[in-house]
Chains A and B, each alone.
Chain A
């Protein structure tokens, strides 16, 4: 059996309705456990005090913000190359989730920055890049909404996602060049595992897993909704024609 069978809407609806409760349950368990563990049972950082607890939200949401865009890029490519409708709809379904993740990363970053840097907003390369990513999500979603014909919308947003990806990466580089991150590294460098002690690392891992599972849950729900919406639209159109 090939993976492409799941691109059949019937098969997708069956499989997703079977998988959904499991994924949702796991997401809930991982998120609640991870966040409770992180919030109540981890010590304060000697430098940052209790604000270190924000990493359990900030880091997973920031990771997801980027990874969801990558997932949208992959599904858009699958749609453009192999014309599997479910793939295009999954990209559409993922975009609002990605936007919310970006928003969470931005807001928690700003809230965190306030006591750490003494300002809500700093034109730090990372924050700025996320702001640009947020704009890309907005544009992508707006384009989906603006176009009536679903296949046209899928094609055009797919092309936009492709071009946007290149420019998102380019923007990241440009922003880095423009303002050589005065603040990064001074705070916790989160990319390097060894800089984070195990006390923070395990609940963080759990939170990351929780965010991923939550994303999968949401994408499954939303893709199912999109598939139904398209069937509804097709039936309505046929009723009008008849």
Chain B
């Protein structure tokens, strides 16, 4: 399992920009939004949680189709499915690798982007916390979507259509947590919901993803 994780991370780094690509996309979104809505600090700070969350979501979506597609094309997925690691474990590791290469960099870089959008100190804290709690769910659910579409040639757009509705609860609670945290309101409910959704996703969704992969390899 660890070997698989190391291999995936190594592949992401060698492929060039495994870590950087999502981050660069995130930066572009954050740069473009002020051009769209105007440079007014107050407005930006108010919509910043939403922008950053939607940006994180799209950045995550960008690299989803690569989770299984590469391994499917070169035959590794067949070999992994017949290897002594349970397929559920493979799926989970793949999602973890995806999170480490896209989710984690976003979490770490989020305060910098928050500053660009005039988020204040405490809001930045909530932003990092919400992203850290929420992005793992994005990767796990994304792996599920990727597992469903792994055999398809034109899977990219379909993948987005399948995955985005699944992201709604995480997006809502994530952005709401930042908004409430920034304005000093009660944060317990969105915090618990966000963490709960992520925990439940990690625990349950890999089984569905593994089932989907098995069906696709038939």
Residue positions of A touching B, CB distance < 8 A: 132, 135-136, 138-139, 142-143, 146-147, 149, 152, 155-156, 159-160, 162-164, 167-168, 170-171, 173-175, 177-178
B162 within 8 A of A: yes
- Interface-lining segment among B16-24, B83-91, B93-101, B151-159: B151-159
Known contacts A156-B148, A159-B148, A167-B169; A139 and B162 CB within 8 A of each other: yes
Chain A residue contacts of B58, Cβ below 8 A: none
Give chain B's interface residue range (CB within 8 Å of chain A): 20 to 34
| Given contacts A146-B152, A160-B148, A139 and B165 within 8 Å (CB-CB) | yes
Q: Tell me the interface secondary structure of chain B in the complex.
A: helix
What is the distance, in angstroms, from B126's C-beta to the closest C-beta of chain A? 16
User: Which 3 A-B pairs rank lowest in CB-CB distance, beginning with the nearest?
Assistant: A174-B169, A174-B172, A155-B215
Q: Is the CB of B161 within 8 A of A135?
A: yes
* Docked-complex contact A174 and B193, CB < 8 angstroms: yes
Per-residue A-contact encoding for B137-180, CB less than 8 Å = 1, 0 else: 00000001000110110110010011011101100110010000
Q: List A contacts of B148 (CB < 8 A).
A: 143, 156, 159-160
**B208–A142 touching, CB < 8 Å:** no
Known: A142-B158, A146-B154, A174-B172. A152 touches B218 (CB 8 A): yes
Residues of A within 8 A of B76 (CB): none
Interface centre among A142, A155, A163 (most CB of B within 10 A): A163
Query: If A139-B165, A175-B172 touch, does A146 touch B216 (CB 8 Å cutoff)?
Result: no
Look across to chain B and name the residue whose beta carbon is closest to the beta carbon of A154: B215
Q: Which of A159, A164, A174 contacts B173 (CB 8 A)?
A: A174
CB neighbours of A159 from chain B (8 A) = 148, 208, 211-212, 215
Max chain B Cβ within 10 angstroms of own Cβ: one of A143, A152, A155, A156: A156
The distance from the CB of B65 to the nearest CB of chain A, in whole angstroms, is 13
Main SS class of interface, A: helix
Residues of A within 8 A of B152 (CB): 146-147
When distances are taken between beta carbons in the complex, the residues of chain A under 8 Å from B189 are 177
Q: A174-B173, A175-B172 are in contact. Are A142 and B215 (CB under 8 A)?
A: no
Give the CA-CA distance A178 to B170 in the complex, in Å: 12
* Alpha-carbon distance A178/B158, docked complex (angstroms): 27
Q: How far is the CA of A175 from the CA of B168 in the complex (A)?
A: 9
Given A159-B215, A174-B168, 16 extra CB contacts under 8 A: A135-B164, A136-B165, A139-B162, A143-B148, A143-B149, A146-B154, A155-B212, A159-B208, A163-B166, A167-B168, A170-B169, A174-B193, A177-B172, A177-B176, A177-B189, A177-B193
A-B contact pairs, 11 of them (CB 8 A): A135-B161, A156-B148, A167-B168, A171-B172, A174-B169, A174-B172, A174-B173, A175-B172, A177-B172, A177-B190, A177-B193
- Given A156-B148, A178-B176; A163-B205 close (CB under 8 Å): yes
Q: Which residues of B contact A162 (CB under 8 A)?
A: 208
CB pair A143 B158 closer than 8 Å: yes
Given A142-B158, A156-B148: A167 touches B165 (CB 8 Å cut-off): yes
